[in-house]
Structure 1
Amino acid sequence: MTESKRIKLDEVKNPVIVTHSGTFHADDALAVSMLRKLPVFAEAELVRTRDMDKIANGTIVVDVGAEYDPARQRYDHHQRGFMETFDDEHTTKLSSAGLIWKHFGEHILAAHLNLGLDNGLVRLFFKKMYDDFVEAIDAIDNGISLYPEVAGPPRYRSRTDLSSRVGHMNPRWNEPFEESDLLVRFRRASQMAGSEFFERVDDMMLAWYPARQIVQEAIEARKSFEGADPQGRIVLFDRIVGWKSHMYELEAEMEISGDEQPLYVIYPDESGKWRVQAVPVSLESFTSRRALPEPWRGIRDEQLSELTEIPGCIFVHQSGFIGGNATKEGALKMARKALA
């Protein structure tokens, strides 16, 4: 949102948010909820309509009106020829949720987190929340398949995502209803979508970002701790931390590749024992960059210690993606031996 656009909105005395009437979806529900974070729209009137005269009188119009004109606060995506994306790095066509996030997201974050627009976290979270939350809403609303190159039916169906849950809040096909009933249902759906969205923002601030800092420090120190692999292929954490979601982004930012990519992560578990875990090839993958050695897999306790010649071994999973040892030193020995 440009400064001129913000000033123009701030001059509005009785703002009105307009979206379409009838069946609602996750994109319009989320878009309205996100707009409510901006002071100018916090108490704005909400109008659900397809009447073009009422649409013309809206301060901001989302998901209806067949216009995309940010200068006039029009944010529809249904018109012929619309192909707007979040940025040049993304190919997913935006829905109304993506349009609102693209144009107002940084201000929404700044308002929610009580941060200045120039705070680096605002820009970091702006892109992260699009990638992790909003893009899926855009894709589902625009009918974009998660796996466009895969032929044949899916093995199973998932109908528990936010878009599905919002959809189920509409009346049943054979249930009589009035438009006033739909407005009540829409408000409830918008509140649900916004609650989940901003809970995710809070989680990023309170958990995801602190973990990112810890992971970055561990990656930077991966060649220098006692017992480290000279190529940095073992990353050591002295505390439990959610590392997976950060590993790949930080590798790209720090330009780590090839023979210096981390293969194993060492960390303590809840019981005070230690784990050695193979790094997956990607965040969603169940395939490891280098699984623990095949002869170790499925073996436990003393038998595993005798096989590896490493005291304190507890187990190695049958797939080789993770193993355990009673001590940090033992877990490090397992990782170094796996490298060899």
Structure 2
Amino acid sequence: MNFHTVVTHDTTFHADDVFAVAMLTQFHAGFNLIRTRDKSILHYARLDPQIVVLDVGGRYEPEKLNFDHHQDTALPSAASLVYRYFKNRICPQPAQPYFEEFVSVIDLLDTNRGNIYGQLDTLPAGFRTVDNLIKGFNRDVTDPAQQDKQFRLAVDFAVDIVKNEKHYALLRNRLENDYQKREILPNNVAVLTEYHPDWKAKKEHVFAVMPHANGWQIQSRDTTIDKVPESISKCNGFIFRHGSGFMAVLRDRKVAVDYASSLPMHR
């Protein structure tokens, strides 16, 4: 559905309204933005199917592009409501399961589901969530012109985050496909064709072979279980072994795989 205007509330802004607007910019450039709580403007906007009303207005009517959640505590944040409706235009389908993890965090922070703020209270005072970073753009909430300017700066910041999250979601999808196609050596060492930063979280292998900027690396999932032995330094094309034994780099893939084949079996 096409739209020409987006309406959200004025004064203080948070991650959900900022990211909702930022996600809309991913497929629609140049729409008019209005920040207001004026009842007459909101009444008109809610009736116009070419105006998106988000995080204000007291209605959740996606067919009319009304995306408020405050009238129903069972609803997620405005960012999630907007994403649900426009997700195929915001994010490529293969990346959606991973991108949605990011959107769900905005929900938690906006609605305090699961008492997320109680958990955050246990973290160091300097810890910042994505919502904290967005709130930091607020200035004098009694100055509408200044707040509108700051809102737009916050949206620009959020647009870059959305682009990064989409990139990372697409990368994770590609890496997951690569992981599913991995070679598994007889001693249960995984051999991957791409560098995979999350292979350890799966806890299916203690060692993995994967590309490195200088050749091929062997990584240990957990050095308390096993380390890459110091004997790897005797291999042809040896480049580096970390002192902790969590990884080592060899120049040639075949040498790396052959050495990895000699490592102890772990299940």
Q: For residues 216 and 192 of structure 1, do their structure 2 counterparts lie closer, same or farther at Cα, with a shift above 3 Å needed?
A: same
Task: Say which of 196, 201, 204 aligns to 2:161.
Answer: 196
1:53 counterpart = 2:27: no
Task: Say which of 95, 109, 126 aligns to 2:77.
Answer: 95
Task: Say which of 178, 191, 195 aligns to 2:143.
Answer: 178
**Is 2:195–2:211's contact at 8 Å kept on the other side of the alignment?**
no
SS in 2 for 1:57: helix
When the two structures are aligned, how many residues end up with a matched partner?
254
Identity between Structure 1 and Structure 2 (%): 20
Distance 1:148 1:190 in 2: 24
Structure 1 residue aligned with 2:48: none
TM superposition shift of 1:316: 7.3
TM superposition shift of 1:216: 2.5
1:20 counterpart = 2:9: yes
Structure 2 residue aligned with 1:123: 93
Distance 1:50 1:216 in 2: 50
1:214 counterpart = 2:184: no
SS in 2 for 1:276: strand
Structure 2 residue aligned with 1:236: 191
**RMSD (CA atoms):** 3.4
**Is 1:215–1:247's contact at 8 Å kept on the other side of the alignment?**
no
- Write the letter of the residue equivalent to 1:262: H
1:34-53 to 2 correspondence within 5 Å?
34-39=23-28, 42-53=29-40
1:83 counterpart = 2:38: no
Task: Say which of 259, 263, 267 aligns to 1:330.
Answer: 259
Structure 2 residue aligned with 1:33: 22
Distance 1:52 1:149 in 2: 35
**Cα distance per residue 1:190-221 (max 9 Å; x no partner):** 1211221023213444x444433332321xx3
**Is 2:141–2:147's contact at 8 Å kept on the other side of the alignment?**
no
Q: For residues 147 and 75 of structure 1, do their structure 2 counterparts lie closer, same or farther at Cα, with a shift above 3 Å needed?
A: closer
Distance 2:189 2:135 in 1: 45
Structure 2 residue aligned with 1:339: 266
1:265 counterpart = 2:208: yes
TM superposition shift of 1:159: 3.8
- Runs of 5+ consecutive residues of structure 1 not aligned to the other structure: 1-5, 85-93, 110-121, 223-227, 252-260, 279-287
- Structure 1 stretches of 4+ with a deviation exceeding 4 A read 145-150, 245-248, 310-318
Distance 2:117 2:135 in 1: 23
Distance 1:245 1:22 in 2: 44
**Is 1:212–1:243's contact at 8 Å kept on the other side of the alignment?**
no
Q: For residues 316 and 243 of structure 1, do their structure 2 counterparts lie closer, same or farther at Cα, with a shift above 3 Å needed?
A: closer
TM-score, L = length of structure 2: 0.78
Q: For residues 102 and 124 of structure 1, do their structure 2 counterparts lie closer, same or farther at Cα, with a shift above 3 Å needed?
A: same
TM superposition shift of 1:25: 0.7
Distance 1:19 1:108 in 2: 19
Structure 1 residue aligned with 2:65: 73
Distance 1:69 1:108 in 2: 19
TM superposition shift of 1:24: 0.6
1:107 counterpart = 2:89: yes
**Is 1:274–1:331's contact at 8 Å kept on the other side of the alignment?**
no
TM superposition shift of 1:147: 6.1
- Write the letter of the residue equivalent to 2:225: L
Q: Could you say which structure has the greater relative contact order, defined with CA pairs below 8 angstroms and 6 or more residues apart? A: 2
TM superposition shift of 1:315: 5.5
- Runs of 5+ consecutive residues of structure 2 not aligned to the other structure: 46-50
1:144 counterpart = 2:113: yes
